[in-house]
Chains A and B, each alone.
Chain A
Amino acid sequence: AQSVSQHNHHVILSEAASLELGCNYSYGGTVNLFWYVQYPGQHLQLLLKYFSGDPLVKGIKGFEAEFIKSKFSFNLRKPSVQWSDTAEYFCAARRPEYGGATNKLIFGTGTLLAVQP
């Protein structure tokens, strides 16, 4: 079955620490990858996405992610976190259906990040 795995369920960091959240997906072939963030009380927002091309993707608020095809990974990174980065982070994958079309996203279980001032 298609799946997306996020191995870190809870992460606690101090401000200015570096962040790396892991994401692995389970299927080969063409895959589009996304990181979403959900700040407390707010909507899911797109941080960044990878469709093709440069495997290092830069998103909003200083976040970046690296697509490593051989490892089926799409880890999210930020060199220096701030208290305002406290949120839940979701990795998601979309597999373009051959001969079809879809926006269907498969989400990971999410990582709750708490940044201590």
Chain B
Amino acid sequence: KAGVTQTPRYLIKTRGQQVTLSCSPISGHRSVSWYQQTPGQGLQFLFEYFSETQRNKGNFPGRFSGRQFSNSRSEMNVSTLELGDSALYLCASSLDLSSGGVGGDEQFFGPGTRLTVL
């Protein structure tokens, strides 16, 4: 079974630009979460989606947004990039077995997208 895939793996942008990152969850997984990993702040939760609905959101500015499609694939967008947005962006998917999705299942992480903002 293929794992979580993220594209692109590496990205270089300049301040002020916007970027879209993509995540394909493991087949059958309905929940997708996004995290930002930096040396200074560690792993921080961005948001999570379940059945195309944002279920939870972290403490990030509105420049960070996301969405989930009917096939569970997810994208996150960062507008007006700042130098501090340079980070590894990780996507994780989980099965969410319970009807309605109560969470708590094991999350499988992708390799991440390394974003560098110049």
Contact = CB atoms under 8 A, between A and B. Distances in A.
A94 B43 contact: no
Interface string B53-92: 0011010000000000000000000000000000000101
Contacts of A94: 103-104
Number of chain B interface residues as a range: 20 to 34
A32 interface: yes
B42 A103 contact: no
Q: In terms of DSSP, what is the predominant structure of the interface of chain A?
A: loop
Contacts of A46: 106-108
Contact of B96 (A44, A103, A110): A103
Number of chain A interface residues as a range: 20 to 34
23 contacts: A36-B109, A43-B110, A43-B111, A44-B109, A45-B109, A49-B106, A90-B42, A94-B104, A96-B104, A97-B56, A100-B55, A102-B48, A102-B56, A103-B31, A103-B94, A103-B103, A103-B105, A103-B107, A104-B33, A104-B48, A104-B56, A104-B58, A110-B43
